């Protein structure tokens, strides 16, 4: 898959996303790794899927958090199931992307993001935030091109 003209390099793209986010990226180096792997291995479709799912997950998390203040949310179990399914899906997509890299990087992401610990979940949530910013940046660029 070809990637848009505005993507010159992984470094430049991350710099642009960082500016766009108002310096709110948490896991910039790891986002850079994912973008670099995507560009180097013609996996922009995979990256596009990852950022789409990440943005969707963050929306589900916001809905779940908002539901805490609302009594008797009728579809709370659907939201929880959807959240769980999409977290699994994005992990699979990221792992699929990591198959294009060495075991050291795979192991790093496993330890940093995918273990069942509070720290790993916090890191994963921050990475999802960065991926959400990436999706919002891509959307803004698409609107500019139209």
The pTM score is 0.92
Q: What is the pLDDT of residues 21-51, one digit of tens each?
A: 999 999 999 999 999 999 999 999 999 999 9
Closest CA relative to residue 125, chosen from 112, 106, 107, 140 = 112
Domain count of the chain?
A: 1
Q: What is the per-residue pLDDT across 56-103, written as a single tens digit (0 to 9) for each?
A: 999 999 988 888 777 776 788 899 999 999 999 999 999 999 999 999
Position 2 in a domain: no
Please report, for the chain, how many H helices and E strands are present, in that order: 6, 0
Q: Are 139 and 56 in contact (CB under 8 A)?
A: no
pLDDT category of residue 4 using cuts at 50, 70 and 90: low
What pLDDT score was predicted for residue 2? 52
Query: Which range of residues forms the domain containing residue 116?
Result: 10-145
Q: Is 105 within 8 Å of 98 (Cβ atoms)?
A: yes
Task: Confirm whether 97 is domain-assigned.
Answer: yes
């Amino acid at each position: 898959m070809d990637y848009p003209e505005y993507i010159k390099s992984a470094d430049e793209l991350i710099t642009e996303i960082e500016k766009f986010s108002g310096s709110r990226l948490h896991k910039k180096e790891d986002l850079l790794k994912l973008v670099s792997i995507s560009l180097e291995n013609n996996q922009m479709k995979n990256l596009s899927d990852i950022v789409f799912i990440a943005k969707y997950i963050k929306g589900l998390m916001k809905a779940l958090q908002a539901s805490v203040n609302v009594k008797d949310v009728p579809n709370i179990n659907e939201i929880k199931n959807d959240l769980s399914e999409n977290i699994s899906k994005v992990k699979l997509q990221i792992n699929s992307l990591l198959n294009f890299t060495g075991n050291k990087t795979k192991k790093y992401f496993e330890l940093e993001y995918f273990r069942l610990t509070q720290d790993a979940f916090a890191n994963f949530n921050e990475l999802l935030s960065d991926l959400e910013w990436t999706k919002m940046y891509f959307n803004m660029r698409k609107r500019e091109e139209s």
